Structure 1
Amino acid sequence: MEQKSRASNQGDHQYRQRIRDLLAQTPLFSELPVEQLDPLVRGTRKVRAQRGEIIFHRGDPCVGFHTVIFGQVKLVYVSAVGVERVVRLIGPGDSFGEALMFLEKDYIITAEALCDTLLLHVAREALFDRLDRDPRLARRMLVSLSRRLFMLMGDVGAYTMRSGQQRLIGYLFREARGRFGEPFRVEVTKGVIASRLNLTPEHFSRMLRELSERHLIRVRGREFTILDPEGLQAVHG
């Protein structure tokens, strides 16, 4: 019995150490001293999700926030008639759910894994206790939320002031990151990209075809190449 107890304690210690190491890799907690991560570790659990698995549904209670270690998650809003709109794509190092956690509101969107994904879920009480003790962490979280709000305002501006073609070209330039003339791969389907840009799949495919026929881009599956950045920028306006 004593031997089993020691093995269990050792396993618990290794699990907590692994959680601490994972937390230390995230941008939000990377600058915290290791000993200050321990209170957070007790309120953190690993969440593994396979491709297509729902992490939470709209209406579920939000009792903490998630951060992605590896993989990708899409946050989607589903209308009453079943139309799905991708609100945000979450990759490694990014987090989501903080605003609703602070407001103590239920989730208003659904989160789905786009591939095999590992996340950490940090409980609200554990985070609040740490924020009360560390103004620097509170400031980092405010910066993160403010940056997200700024991006959201940019999205709203794009949807209301730019055409679908302009939104698509802007997306391609962002994803290319200056790699003109060489292929770059996106890790999500064209349907997800279309939804994120507030486009129907048919409209999205038609614009890709038109840009390809004008030799401005090349599309092969999930690989895109910007062949003529100056010409593409001229179309973008």
Structure 2
Amino acid sequence: MAVARKIKIQAFLGNLPLFNDLLAEELDRIALGTVEQHLERGQMLYRKGEPSTGMYCVVYGQIKLSSTSAQGDEKVVEIIGPGASFGEAVMFMEKPHLLYAQALADSLLLQVSRQVIFDEIDRDSAFARKLMAGLSRRVHSLVSDVEWYSLRSGAERVIGYLLRQPLEGDPAGGYRVNLPTSKNVVASRLSLTPEHFSRILHELAEARLIAVNGREVAVFDVERLRAYHPRA
């Protein structure tokens, strides 16, 4: 059983951009420092202030990274899906976690220990560069988020978010967008209150640009939606 489990971890890690250039023996070493973590929906992975012991890769499920104000208001910083990793920055800083991590769905994670990552960096400078590139992309994405939320209206944020999601359908019959998580979580991710998010969806529906049915959003005309000017 142990051998089968090890092969499973190797195969998954070997398909991730961070690890896909590593040789089999290098994946062997990393797999030895990797453990599976199963989380049920709503379960906390870690809380702000807890020590970091490594980085995480999502096999399936969704992980919400968030912060909470002194008043208890939550801000969703990022939603991590299958094939993505997180936790690298605080791992390198050797500081406590700055965010909360919670499963939005039943999830399977691989936790790669800090020590095995550090050992591999010492052996392979190319691996270190890939880690740095991944962290740089994450920082760039977060800076883009701040710029987007600071300079765009709520409606522009919602439209941009919808158009960045995978679209199912065709121009003749229209498209469908399936929200990856609850509307409250999406609203927080866009720095909107749930009420404001709902009003924007209603406004877009009144303009006959979309129709909303639970988490499914029908997009009637992508170009009209992209060109829509929100109400004053």
Alpha-carbon deviations, 1:20-42, whole Å to 9, x = none? 22222322112211111111112
Is 2:226 the counterpart of 1:233?
Answer: yes
Unpaired runs of at least 5, structure 1: 1-10
Deviation at 1:176, TM superposition (A): 4.2
Q: Of 40, 44, 49, which aligns to 2:30?
A: 40
TM-score by structure 2 length?
0.93
What residue identity is the alignment partner of 2:223?
Answer: E
Is 2:70 the counterpart of 1:75?
Answer: no
Unpaired runs of at least 5, structure 2: none
What residue identity is the alignment partner of 2:227?
Answer: A
Deviation at 1:156, TM superposition (A): 0.7
TM-score by structure 1 length?
0.91
Aligned to 1:30: 20
1:1-237 correspondence to structure 2 within 5 Å: 11-177=1-167, 181-235=174-228
CA RMSD between the two structures: 1.6
Q: Report the number of matched residues.
A: 227
Assess if the C-alpha contact under 8 Å between 1:68 and 1:90 holds in 2: yes
What residue identity is the alignment partner of 1:68?
Answer: V
Alpha-carbon deviations, 1:87-129, whole Å to 9, x = none? 0000111111101010001001110111111111111110011
> Could you say which structure has the higher helix fraction?
1
Alpha-carbon deviations, 1:64-95, whole Å to 9, x = none? 11010111111010112211110000011111
Cα distance, 1:61–1:123 mapped onto 2, change above 3 Å: same
| Between 129-138 and 52-61, the greater mean CA deviation after superposition | 129-138
- After TM superposition, what 4+ stretches of structure 1 lie above 3 angstroms from structure 2? 176-180
Deviation at 1:134, TM superposition (A): 1.3
CA distance in 2 between counterparts of 1:86 and 1:220 reads 23
What residue identity is the alignment partner of 1:226?
Answer: V
Assess if the C-alpha contact under 8 Å between 1:47 and 1:118 holds in 2: yes
Alpha-carbon deviations, 1:169-200, whole Å to 9, x = none? 10011014585512121220000100000000
What residue identity is the alignment partner of 2:75?
Answer: R
